[in-house]
């Protein structure tokens, strides 16, 4: 029993010890398990980390590659954008150049000039004066019509070069359109000295232009306006300088005109007359008057010059000096001139039918008529419809018109002369250099300008000029008609130098057809 008790006691101790050991073992075992688990986890984590590291590295490499590709694409795009920008910039510059530059002359165009003038007008100082000069080529249309537009363009380029030579460095030159040029000059100190610039420009146009290996003289009409005196805005200044230029045209071309307020009044009268002229054609308000040409040897009427008059319903009889320039500018001279020729030839036919078979009818051709492409056909039609003796019709042209285009003039004259019609050179001696071309012109008569007759008696120089013209004409087998004979002493001198024909108030003023009939009967002893 004791032993059992001892054993029991011992056993309890062992049991306790075993329990303790077991507990320790369990703890150790658990710890080992935990360590193992930890190791497993650690190993797994290590493997996972390694895997992930490898994966990350791969992904990094892939991303870098993609980044590198993206960078290259961005760089290429940047270059493309830069190229596009430069192209757009060049395109914008080119478009601006097109918008502001005349394609032919490479001068600033109307738009550029207007913007420049806008700026100048907006910044104009109180005491500052600027000048605008408007330049228009005279009869430029004739060159285009006769030679073609390519030669017209060549002329405009040459004109540009000459204008650049004549203006100052600080002047702003632009092509305003067609055959029109405009010059802006700032800081004008002395207005009176500005005319020197105008004369300098006129001088460079005194030399001939060479087109198609031929020489052509080109004149210009110039208008001038000052700011702020003649306009405080761009619009008003350009309007007024334009009016000044057209006034220069009306004054005979090849001249210049400064704007003044009276020009506006003349403009209104002009506009009114233009409208009335159109109505006059429709309402048959024109009438042909006839001025006799006297044979100085026989004292008989050798012919008549047909001169148009306008029977205005309110203003009465209007002379050609008032309405012909306007008719020229508007082109109305062509239908008016056609009507005059037809009426004059009808009257000539009546005289021929009444036995006056040697009477000449002289009809004036203006520059606009002469260069009209239908002229030859119109003359032919008039001859056919009236049935006159074509050798009794004489067409008068001025030497200024002829010299605008000598080759064309000769061609047209030759075509019309083929019908039997004769030509007379009017206002001889007042043009540029007709003496040089006279031998080339197929004309029958020369008409000495009235200005030489006005001083004929008291001026020996004019006597020598008249005598020389008559001798020249005789050598070229031409007749001479002296215009503006008003005194018997003039007639006596003309006879002494063997002038054949005379015309003027000494014999007759221009007469209506009824009075011309009476005068013809009186001088030629027939009624």
Q: How much is the pLDDT for 29?
A: 53
Strands (E) located in 376-431: 393-398, 422-428
Residue 259 near residue 240, CB atoms below 8 Å: yes
* C-alpha distances out from residue 216 to 166, 209, 414, Å: 20, 5, 20
Helix (H) or strand (E) holding 103: none
pLDDT digits (tens, 9 = 90+) for 223-275: 999 999 999 999 999 999 999 998 898 788 899 999 998 888 877 787 888 88
Q: How much is the pLDDT for 188?
A: 85
* C-alpha distances out from residue 167 to 136, 182, 196, 499, Å: 16, 11, 10, 48
d(CA 487, CA 482): 12
- DSSP string computed for 105-116: T-SB-HHHHHHH
Q: Which of 346, 288, 239, 318 is nearest to 516 (CA)?
A: 288
Who contacts 236 (Cβ-Cβ below 8 Å, separation ≥6)?
230
Q: Bridge-partner residues for 446, per DSSP? A: 425, 480
pTM > 0.75: yes or no: no
Q: Which of 300, 309, 414, 301 is nearest to 360 (CA)?
A: 301
Q: How much is the pLDDT for 35?
A: 55
Who contacts 301 (Cβ-Cβ below 8 Å, separation ≥6)?
292, 293, 294, 295, 359, 519, 520, 523, 524
Q: How much is the pLDDT for 311?
A: 94
Collapsing DSSP to helix, strand or coil, 289 comes out as strand
Longest dimension (CA), the chain: 206
- pLDDT < 50 stretches in the chain: 1-11, 13-15, 17, 21-22, 25, 432-433, 527
Residue with tokens 């601006």: 96
For 54, the token pair is 């490898």
Residue 180 near residue 136, CB atoms below 8 Å: yes
How many C-beta atoms surround the C-beta of residue 15 within 10 A?
12
Alpha-carbon torsion angle 152, 157, 159, 162, nearest 10: -160
* C-alpha distances out from residue 183 to 123, 197, 224, 239, 394, Å: 18, 11, 10, 14, 44
Q: Bridge-partner residues for 291, per DSSP? A: 305
d(CA 25, CA 446): 154
Who contacts 263 (Cβ-Cβ below 8 Å, separation ≥6)?
240, 243, 244, 247, 257
Q: Which of 331, 114, 373 is nearest to 233 (CA)?
A: 114
Q: Which of 342, 341, 333 is nearest to 278 (CA)?
A: 333
Strand 393-398 and strand 360-364: pairing?
parallel
d(CA 171, CA 185): 5
d(CA 352, CA 345): 10
Task: Name the region of 108 (left: φ>0; alpha: ψ -120 to 50; beta: rest).
Answer: beta
């Amino acid at each position: 029993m004791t032993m059992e008790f001892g054993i029991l006691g011992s056993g309890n101790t062992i049991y306790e010890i075993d329990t303790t050991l077991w507990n320790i073992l369990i703890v150790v075992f658990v710890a080992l398990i935990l360590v193992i688990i930890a190791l497993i986890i650690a190993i797994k984590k290590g493997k996972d980390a390694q895997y992930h590291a490898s994966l990350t590295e791969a992904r990094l490499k892939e991303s870098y590659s993609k980044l590198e590709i993206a960078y290259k694409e961005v760089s290429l795009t940047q270059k493309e954008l830069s190229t596009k920008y430069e192209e757009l910039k060049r395109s914008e510059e080119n478009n601006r150049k097109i918008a502001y530059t005349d394609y032919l002359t490479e001068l600033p165009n109307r738009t550029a000039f207007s913007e420049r003038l806008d700026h100048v007008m907006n910044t104009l100082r109180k005491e500052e004066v600027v000048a605008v000069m408007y330049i228009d080529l005279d009869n430029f249309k004739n060159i285009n019509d006769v030679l073609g537009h390519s030669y017209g363009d060549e002329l405009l380029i040459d004109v540009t070069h000459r204008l650049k030579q004549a203006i100052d460095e600080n002047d702003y030159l632009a092509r305003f359109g067609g055959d029109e040029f405009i010059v802006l000059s700032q800081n004008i100190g002395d207005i009176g000295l500005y005319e020197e610039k105008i004369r300098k420009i006129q001088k460079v146009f005194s030399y001939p232009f060479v087109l198609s290996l031929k020489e052509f003289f080109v004149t210009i009409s110039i208008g001038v306006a000052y700011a702020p005196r003649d306009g405080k805005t761009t619009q008003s200044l350009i309007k007024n300088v334009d009016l000044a230029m057209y006034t220069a045209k009306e004054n005979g071309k090849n001249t210049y005109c400064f704007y003044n307020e009276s020009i506006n009044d003349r403009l209104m009268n002009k506009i009114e007359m233009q409208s009335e002229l159109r109505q006059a054609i429709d309402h048959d308000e024109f009438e042909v008057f006839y001025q006799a040409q006297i044979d100085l040897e026989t004292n008989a009427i050798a012919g008549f010059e047909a001169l148009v008059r306008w029977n205005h319903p309110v203003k009465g009889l209007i002379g050609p000096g008032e309405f012909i320039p306007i008719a020229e500018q508007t082109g109305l001279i062509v239908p008016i001139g056609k009507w005059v020729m037809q009426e004059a030839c009808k009257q000539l036919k009546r005289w021929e039918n009444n036995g006056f078979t040697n009477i000449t009818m002289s009809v004036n051709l203006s520059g606009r008529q002469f260069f009209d492409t239908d002229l030859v056909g119109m003359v032919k039609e008039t001859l056919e419809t009236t049935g006159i003796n074509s050798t009794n019709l004489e067409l008068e042209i001025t030497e200024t018109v002829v010299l605008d285009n000598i080759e064309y003039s000769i061609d047209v004259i030759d075509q019309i002369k083929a019908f039997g019609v004769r030509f007379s050179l009017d206002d001889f001696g007042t043009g540029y250099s007709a003496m040089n071309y006279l031998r080339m012109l197929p004309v029958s008569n020369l008409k000495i300008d009235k200005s030489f007759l006005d001083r004929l008696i008291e001026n020996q120089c004019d006597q020598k000029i008249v005598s020389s013209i008559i001798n020249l004409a005789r050598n070229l087998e031409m007749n001479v008609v002296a215009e503006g004979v008003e005194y018997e002493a003039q007639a006596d001198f003309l006879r002494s130098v063997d002038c054949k024909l005379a015309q003027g108030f000494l014999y007759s003023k221009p007469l209506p057809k009824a009075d011309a009939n009476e005068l013809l009967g009186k001088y030629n002893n027939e009624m």
